[in-house]
Structures are given as structure tokens and as C-alpha cells.
């Protein structure tokens, strides 16, 4: 019966909430793993608590350089426009891209086969953004290939918060 209930829950297509978490603090950040592949993120939904400090372990399991930009949809679109200027850049290191004005998220660029650890504090007001928050890769062409994952804001018990969720028009 337990297996049946578990399988029934899997058929809904709605990912389960994060197991109970203790939001991170500056003295003890919560560890969050993000694995980048060609062209997706694991997990497919990133759960964060507003105001918490997290230690991201960002691993690039793909064959090319990827990035994880955390921010609202306006931030994602600003990075998409900023990085569009690098289309056609010669092979080699990722071109330097200026941070868009008003950026309050985080950008983590990781070479193929590498891991980068970054400590970051989630803005307290992030769940109130009507466009939602996302993790996106804006290396030219990656966003279009679907390299984006939504952020789900959770409370300290891991339950989804009553935040504004983006509509279908917010998807890339």
C-alpha cells in the first residue's frame, strides 16, 4: 500500500516539497547542490527560504561552460540581453559580461567538469516578485534550449510558501 501511495504521488507530475529544512544563517549556511548538465539543472526546482544564507555547491557535469544565475524574470531577461553581445566570441574563456543594473541575485560560472562553491543570502522580499525567481544559464543559446529551473520559496519546514507563482508567459 505504501508503494502504491508513493507511485500515485509520482503520477501527479508535481514535485514534492523539500524535506524539512533549517534555513541557513551567515554562521551556518545551508548547503544546496546544483548540478548543471547540457542543458538542464538538477534539481529541476530549487527550493530556497527567504533571508537564509546558502552555500551553493555548483557542479558542471556538462561538456561546455555553464552558469547559474539566480534572480527574478527581469534579471533573467537582462542577463540574456547582456550575454547576447558575446554571440560569435572566439573559443576560449567565457567573455566578461557586465552585471545588469539593479541585479540582486547571484551569478556562478563553472567550466565543464568543475565545481564552484558560493555563499549567498536570499533576499527577504524575493517571494513577493510577481514574475517568480529562476536559475538560468544565459551562455548564448542555453536559455533557448531550456536551461532554466524555477525557484520555489519554502518556509523552515520545507513547505511551499504562499508566494506569487509565475504564469506560463514567464517561461523562456
pLDDT digits (tens, 9 = 90+) for 14-67: 555 556 788 999 999 999 999 999 999 999 999 999 999 999 999 999 999 999
The C-alpha cell of 162 is what?
A: 504562499
Rounded Cα distance, 98 and 10, in Å: 42
Q: What is the pLDDT at residue 17?
A: 52
pLDDT digits (tens, 9 = 90+) for 109-118: 999 999 999 9
pTM greater than 0.85: no
- Looking at the chain, the whole-number percentage of residues with pLDDT higher than 90 is 57
Amino acid at each position: 500500500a505504501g508503494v502504491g501511495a508513493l507511485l500515485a504521488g509520482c503520477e501527479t507530475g508535481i514535485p514534492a516539497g523539500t524535506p524539512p529544512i533549517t534555513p541557513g544563517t551567515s554562521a551556518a549556511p545551508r548547503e544546496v547542490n546544483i548540478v548543471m548538465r547540457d542543458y538542464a539543472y538538477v534539481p529541476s526546482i530549487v527550493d530556497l527560504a527567504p533571508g537564509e544564507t546558502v552555500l551553493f555547491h555548483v557542479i558542471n557535469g556538462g561538456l561546455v561552460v555553464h552558469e547559474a544565475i539566480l534572480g527574478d524574470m527581469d534579471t533573467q531577461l537582462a542577463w540574456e540581453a547582456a550575454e547576447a553581445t558575446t554571440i560569435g566570441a572566439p573559443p576560449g574563456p567565457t567573455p566578461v559580461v557586465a552585471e545588469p543594473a539593479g541585479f540582486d541575485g547571484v551569478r556562478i560560472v563553472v567550466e565543464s567538469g568543475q565545481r564552484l562553491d558560493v555563499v549567498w543570502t536570499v533576499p527577504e522580499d524575493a517571494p513577493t516578485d510577481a514574475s517568480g525567481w529562476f536559475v538560468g544559464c544565459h551562455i548564448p543559446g542555453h536559455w533557448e534550449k531550456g536551461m532554466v529551473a524555477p525557484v520555489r520559496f519554502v518556509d523552515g519546514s520545507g513547505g511551499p510558501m504562499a508566494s506569487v507563482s509565475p504564469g506560463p508567459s514567464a517561461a523562456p
